[in-house]
């Protein structure tokens, strides 16, 4: 295919100066219903807005399945035209090796620096002053979802923060409900712990650990409270024997469980089930204690390509992904927040609006992906999933092990 395009390009070089139609292969791991619909919006915008064609290279499975495939294709000399990755340090070495295209030119021409909010998103794409990726959306972890039905069945008021929730949990359990729904997969227990650490230890302590990598703070009183709360949460969630996050969310939707700590993507499940925020479920950003959200999310990288035609088309794609129209269309379907501060999202629901407000107020922290390398993140994940699944693992021991890992972070 590429040779044909190349031949066409070569023969046409002499004759015309118009833009040529090029096929761009785009890889991503957005394969669930809502995600696929969202990415189709990008494909539509690209196919209609340019002469080029979007070739969809969806990779089934989660990011942890897709990422090695994507990386090995780029390293193996068979780069796709564009690919989804979580921005942050995952692609750091690929960029250092010069395998990713420098987008600084377009970014400056279109003023990405002025429109991208929060600016940390663009910082995560920047290495040595050059921009290497286009941020696409913001996903935040810091949400707790509460089922109104479960609380009504137990004859309790819906809690408004973590402490109230913790106090109500024993009564929920007595009423035959699972207080806290939790999937058994490692990334879920890890993520929930991250949410609890920001909400309970506070932003300063969290920043000191994740950004300054200060292991003494891990041993400090703020984090002690976090580990105690995590041990409580472990007890609350001991009866939820499901694997996938959406099955855990389903326990909340059907009122079998009181609450779940999960990122804003859970919202899509409530929407599909026809539930209304504020009536059927409550969302508490930052567990209702510290209303902040992290600004993780997805970004598109454009691997370096020998073909100038492809390079030109890659730049066009980058600019379309950042356009106002594509941002709105994509993020409404995806349930995530747009990276531009200057778009109108009046169609968003209550929970999304809460998120937008926090974003506008500047209540954001960088995501773990941006602050720590994958290696350290995986070690933390191993530790927390073990802690979460083994009731005999004491919070004090986990705290020590956590501090030890942080002390080795670069």
Partner 1 sequence: MPDSNAAPRRVDGSRPPNPLFRNLTSKLAALPMVLTALVVFIGCTGWTIVHSFTGSKLLPKLNWVGFDQYEKLWNTRRWLISIENLALYGIFSLCFTLVIGFTLAALLDRKIRFEAAFRTIFLYPFALSFIVTGLVWQWILNPDLGIQHVVRSMGFTGFEFDPLYNASIVLYGLLIAGLWQGTGFVMVIMLAGLRGIDEDVWKAARVDGIPVWKTYIRVIIPMMRPVFITALVVITSGIIKLYDLVVAMTAGGPGIASEVPAKYVYDRMFSSQNLGQGFAASTMMLLAVAIILIPWAYLEFGGKKHD
Contacting positions for partner 1 (CB under 8 A)? 64, 67-68, 71, 75, 90, 92-94, 97, 184-186, 241, 373-375, 377-379, 382-383, 385-390, 401
Pick the closer one to partner 1 by CB: 149 or 374. Answer: 374
CB of 294 to partner 1, least distance (A): 20
CB of 401 to partner 1, least distance (A): 7
CB of 320 to partner 1, least distance (A): 29
CB of 339 to partner 1, least distance (A): 25
Pick the closer one to partner 1 by CB: 90 or 314. Answer: 90
Pick the closer one to partner 1 by CB: 47 or 243. Answer: 243
Round to whole Å and give the CA distance between 334 and 30: 10
Pick the closer one to partner 1 by CB: 80 or 352. Answer: 80
Round to whole Å and give the CA distance between 274 and 174: 28
CB of 93 to partner 1, least distance (A): 4
Pick the closer one to partner 1 by CB: 111 or 391. Answer: 391
Pick the closer one to partner 1 by CB: 237 or 290. Answer: 237
Pick the closer one to partner 1 by CB: 90 or 282. Answer: 90
User: What's the half-sphere exposure (Cβ side, CA atoms, 13 Å) at 314?
Assistant: 27
Pairing of strands 82-86, 23-28: parallel
CB of 233 to partner 1, least distance (A): 15
Q: How far is residue 149 CA from its own chain's centroid?
A: 28
Give the Å distances, CA to CA, from 207 to 164, 210, 366, 384. 25, 5, 9, 19
Pick the closer one to partner 1 by CB: 33 or 391. Answer: 391
Give the Å distances, CA to CA, from 247 to 187, 250, 266, 270, 324. 15, 5, 10, 12, 34
In the chain, how many H helices and how many E strands?
21, 15
CB of 157 to partner 1, least distance (A): 32
Pick the closer one to partner 1 by CB: 186 or 292. Answer: 186
Pick the closer one to partner 1 by CB: 90 or 260. Answer: 90
CB of 19 to partner 1, least distance (A): 35
Q: What does the DSSP assignment read for 300-333?
A: EE-B--S-HHHHHHHHHHHHHHTSHHHHHHHHHH
CB of 314 to partner 1, least distance (A): 22
Closest CA to 124 of 297, 323, 342, 383: 297
Closest CA to 179 of 140, 143, 120, 233: 233
CB of 91 to partner 1, least distance (A): 9
Distance between first and last Cα of the chain = 43
Pick the closer one to partner 1 by CB: 163 or 378. Answer: 378
Round to whole Å and give the CA distance between 220 and 222: 6
Round to whole Å and give the CA distance between 242 and 244: 6
Q: Is the peptide bond before 78 cis (omega within 30 degrees of 0)?
A: no
CB of 389 to partner 1, least distance (A): 3
Round to whole Å and give the CA distance between 319 and 129: 19
Round to whole Å and give the CA distance between 216 and 403: 7
Residue whose token pair is 């968003």: 348
Token pair belonging to 304? 């370096």
- Using CB atoms within 10 A of its CB, is residue 90 exposed (0-12), middle (13-18) or buried (19+)? buried
Token pair belonging to 4? 């044909």
């Amino acid at each position: 295919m590429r040779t044909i395009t190349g031949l066409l390009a070569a023969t046409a070089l002499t004759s015309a100066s118009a833009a040529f139609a090029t096929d761009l292969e785009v890889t991503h791991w957005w394969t669930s219903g809502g995600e696929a619909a969202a990415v189709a919006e990008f494909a539509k915008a690209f196919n209609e807005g340019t002469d080029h064609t979007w070739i969809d290279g969806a990779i089934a499975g989660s990011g942890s399945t897709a990422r090695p495939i994507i990386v090995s294709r780029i390293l193996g000399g068979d780069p796709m035209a564009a690919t989804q990755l979580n921005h942050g340090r995952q692609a750091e070495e690929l960029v250092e090796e010069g395998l990713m295209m420098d987008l600084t030119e377009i970014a400056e021409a279109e003023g990405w620096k002025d429109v991208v909010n929060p600016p940390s998103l663009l910082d995560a794409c920047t290495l040595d002053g050059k921009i290497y990726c286009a941020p696409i959306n913001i996903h935040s972890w810091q949400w707790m979802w509460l089922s109104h039905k479960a609380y009504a069945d137990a004859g309790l008021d819906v809690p408004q923060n973590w402490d109230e929730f913790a106090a109500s949990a024993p009564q929920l359990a007595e009423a035959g409900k699972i207080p806290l729904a939790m999937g058994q997969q490692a990334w879920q227990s890890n993520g929930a712990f991250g949410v609890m650490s920001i909400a309970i230890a506070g932003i300063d302590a969290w920043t000191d650990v994740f950004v300054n990598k200060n292991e003494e703070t891990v041993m400090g009183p703020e984090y002690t409270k976090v580990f105690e709360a995590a041990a409580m949460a472990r007890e609350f969630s001991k009866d939820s024997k499901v694997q996938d996050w959406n099955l855990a969310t389903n326990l909340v939707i059907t009122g079998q469980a009181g609450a779940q700590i999960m990122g804003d993507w859970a919202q899509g499940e409530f929407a599909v089930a026809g539930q209304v925020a504020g009536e059927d479920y409550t969302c508490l950003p930052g567990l209702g204690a510290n209303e902040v959200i992290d600004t993780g999310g997805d970004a598109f990288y454009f691997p370096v390509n020998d073909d100038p035609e492809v390079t030109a088309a890659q730049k066009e794609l980058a600019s379309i992904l950042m356009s106002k129209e594509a941002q709105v269309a994509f993020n409404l379907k995806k349930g995530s927040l747009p990276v531009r501060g200057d778009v109108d999202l009046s169609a968003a629901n209550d929970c999304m609006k809460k998120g937008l407000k926090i974003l506008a107020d500047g209540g954001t922290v960088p995501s773990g992906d941006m602050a720590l390398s994958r290696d350290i993140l995986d070690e933390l994940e191993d530790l927390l999933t073990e802690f979460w699944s083994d009731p005999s693992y004491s919070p004090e021991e986990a705290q020590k092990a956590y501090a030890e890992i942080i002390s080795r972070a670069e």
